[in-house]
Amino acid sequence: MSRARGPSLIAGSDEAPEGVHPTNKASRISSPGDVVALAALACGGVVGLALLPAILGVRCVRGLYQAGKKICSKDPVLDPDMAQDCDGIWPFSEKPGGGGAQQFPEGTKRLAGYVKMSDGVRIAVDVLLPPCAQGADGTFHPVPCVVHMARYWRAWEMRWPIRELLNRGEPWDFLLGPWKSALLESGFAVVSADVRGAGASGGVQSVVWSPRETQDTLELIDFIVGVNQPAGRQPWSDGQVALFGVSYDAGAAVRAAAHKHPAVKAVVASFLFGDIWRELFPGGIMNRWFLQSWCNVNSRLDNARLAAIHPFSPLIMKGAAPASSRKQLSRCVSEHRGNWDLMSAAGSIKAIDDPVAIGSGETMTCQNLELFANPLPSLDGKAVLPALAASQLPTLLISGWACVTSGTACAAFSALAGQHWRLLLGPWNHGGVQHVRYCRETKLLKFPKAKAVQEFLLYHMPRQGFAQSSVPAWLASPKPEVHFYVCGASPAWQHSTEWPPKNVVKKQLWLSTSQLTWTKDDLEHEGSTQLPKATDLVRYKWKASAVAKGRALLFETSVCPTTLAVIGSAVLTLRLRSSKDQDADIFAYLRERPPDGGDLVYITEGALRLSYRREEEAPDHEKAADPHSSDSSMASFGVVPHHSYRRQDIQMLPAEGWDPPDVCQRVP
């Protein structure tokens, strides 16, 4: 990407102080809103004290009941605190260091300000400096830094007295605060910036992950390391930069990393979206709830409408942390009104190649956001992930089995992994908030992903005068490695130098009237089954009555004689016919019957809108992630189905006649 001139410091004024600068801790009561918030909290405290005895009583009774269940339980598989939740590489819980869940380490210094991009847009930046980067006389000791581009505010400013309880009165990042705290403990500076059109930054978001947004990241790196800067490198920077992000922010990180900026030494991408259509329109069916909720939250954050997020939010929060004066913050937020309306665009899309208008006046399709095969002029015609692989940057990918981004992570590692690539796959939902435990209760995550990021960056971006006591076992080899968590009755971490792991084989099961059988000869009879009407919501807590009432079809195997581990994508192959030309949505759920014979336990799911059933040859990255089968009977099934989803291939299910075998419905 060409950068004709670098970012610049903004001239000092009341509107925008010069560059990044030390922040002053806010006074206790600094606005009328603080007075209102304090009064409301006081009233709430009185009510809380009145209800305290009842609340404590309920908690005690519940605790005694749970303790009794543990004592009476004869099946250790159902114990929610199994020792197998950890292994020799990563313990699942650890004591926090100098930082913690709600604060940065003691002595952390926060600088804040605006950095002006080459097109004049002001980007709000926080620089968090660890104690080791600060000299006694006000000077700085250069350290490596980790750059994070934030879509959901780089930090939140709280009202008094709540802010006194969080991060020693400084603004706090509720999404990535613990990650930043871990990096600060390791001696890294953390540079966190609001992307244009969000938080305290100015500008407009013309489309998600726009090329201009990527250029902002590269220009911010230039600002840090002194490229095209009269003042040279920032005094706290040693010239080494890593890029880091989770979810949307991970997309910003890899798009910038692919441009091979000489200062970038490593990239960490957690829960990275790589194929937007197949991830947010699975089987051609829009994940409307997620998209609508995500767009609503973004709109409310971008326009600082806290009350729309929750009526009580304005009582405890002021909004995005200012980077300079509140007058400048208000001006920047007012610019966000021109942000692109993603939900309106998504509602007009019926196929992967449908064009939509974006904020810049241009048009695009979902294919333009794909990271594997969409060539970009700024990358010399390469797509983002192939360009990232060509850069030979050490790369850490993190995802979870219960997150749709796991497909992107596995495919990227399988097809592109080079030296010092690591893939970490855990039992997590999107963002790693929950630890999903099959056959047992899901719990909030305690796995120290931040510790893994610490170790990875310290190994590849060492700080002068600081050395790890020993090389972590999972980083000792330069060869690419995947560390994955096997869920179920005996959970444990496993690792492999390739994906899929060796000795993974495809197994085929056959549908009969109500059974799943391992061989075709075991079928009671072949025939057709009437599908239920798809008018009722399917709940994750499966009820046997759903089958009895005709809301679902259930096919179940006999008890497995040996332990069965399922890795990768399950595929359901169907041949359907209809009494008339029509469309329908098929939802398939893979579940497990626990040993005690209780309710079925959710494992994974797939979906397909039948009019999108046309398949085409899978791209190389998907083939690489699919296990090779030596069983000739599996040859006709090939790899996990790759539906085209193109407008020209949409076709209703024909009346009466069976579809030919080459277009039978396969649900990934």
Tens-digit pLDDT profile for residues 401-453: 889 999 999 999 999 999 999 999 988 888 888 877 666 666 666 667 888 89
Q: Can you give the pLDDT at residue 542?
A: 59
- Using the structure block, give the residue that is written with the tokens 């949307």: 248
Spatial distance between the Cα atoms of 502 and 492, rounded to a whole number of angstroms:
17
Is the four-CA dihedral 256, 258, 262, 266 of positive or negative sign?
A: positive
Spatial distance between the Cα atoms of 521 and 576, rounded to a whole number of angstroms:
22
Of the two residues 632 and 286, the one the predictor is more confident about is 286
Over residues 454-482, the mean pLDDT reads: 84
Question: DSSP assignment of 303-340, as one string?
Answer: TT-HHHH-TTHHHHEEEEPPSS-HHHHHHHHHHGGG--
Q: Can you give the pLDDT at residue 636?
A: 52
Over residues 154-182, the mean pLDDT reads: 89
Residue 188 has pLDDT above 80, yes or no: yes
Of the listed ranges 22-26, 212-216, 408-412, the one predicted with least confidence: 22-26
The per-residue pLDDT for range 66-101, each reduced to its tens digit, is: 555 444 444 333 334 444 454 445 554 444 444 456
Which of 280-289, 429-438, 497-506 shows the highest mean pLDDT? 280-289
Confidence band (pLDDT; 50, 70, 90) for 338?
Answer: very high
Over residues 175-189, the mean pLDDT reads: 92
Over residues 621-644, the mean pLDDT reads: 73
Over residues 604-631, the mean pLDDT reads: 86
Question: DSSP assignment of 609-625, as one string?
Answer: EGGG--B-PPPHHHHHT
Cα–Cα distances (Å) from 391 to 548, 599, 622, in that order, read 56, 49, 21
Residue 330 has pLDDT above 70, yes or no: yes
Spatial distance between the Cα atoms of 216 and 194, rounded to a whole number of angstroms:
10
Of the listed ranges 328-337, 545-554, 641-650, the one predicted with least confidence: 545-554
The per-residue pLDDT for range 470-498, each reduced to its tens digit, is: 788 889 899 999 999 887 767 778 889 99
Cβ-based neighbour number of residue 99 at 10 Å: 22
Which of 81-85, 155-159, 554-558, 566-570 shows the highest mean pLDDT? 155-159
Q: Can you give the pLDDT at residue 60?
A: 67
643 neighbors 277 (Cβ within 8 angstroms): no
Which residues, other chains included, contact 218 with Cβ-Cβ below 8 Å and sequence gap of 6+? 1, 3, 256, 259, 261
Q: Can you give the pLDDT at residue 587?
A: 87
Residue 57 has pLDDT above 80, yes or no: no
Spatial distance between the Cα atoms of 94 and 96, rounded to a whole number of angstroms:
6
The per-residue pLDDT for range 366-390, each reduced to its tens digit, is: 999 999 999 999 999 999 999 999 9
Residue 156 has pLDDT above 90, yes or no: yes
Spatial distance between the Cα atoms of 492 and 503, rounded to a whole number of angstroms:
18
Which of 212-226, 541-555, 627-641 shows the highest mean pLDDT? 212-226
Of the two residues 22 and 385, the one the predictor is more confident about is 385
Over residues 545-572, the mean pLDDT reads: 80
Q: Can you give the pLDDT at residue 84?
A: 47
Q: Can you give the pLDDT at residue 466?
A: 63
Over residues 325-352, the mean pLDDT reads: 93
Over residues 108-129, the mean pLDDT reads: 95
State percent of the chain over pLDDT 70.
75
In 146-165, which positions are buried (b, 16+ CB within 10 angstroms) versus exposed (e)?
bbbbbbbbbbbbbbbebbee
Cα–Cα distances (Å) from 44 to 37, 48, 68, 451, in that order, read 10, 6, 34, 38
Tokens at residue 409, please? 């992570």
SS3 665: strand
Which of 226-235, 318-327, 656-665 shows the highest mean pLDDT? 318-327
Q: Can you give the pLDDT at residue 25?
A: 61
Q: Can you give the pLDDT at residue 129?
A: 96
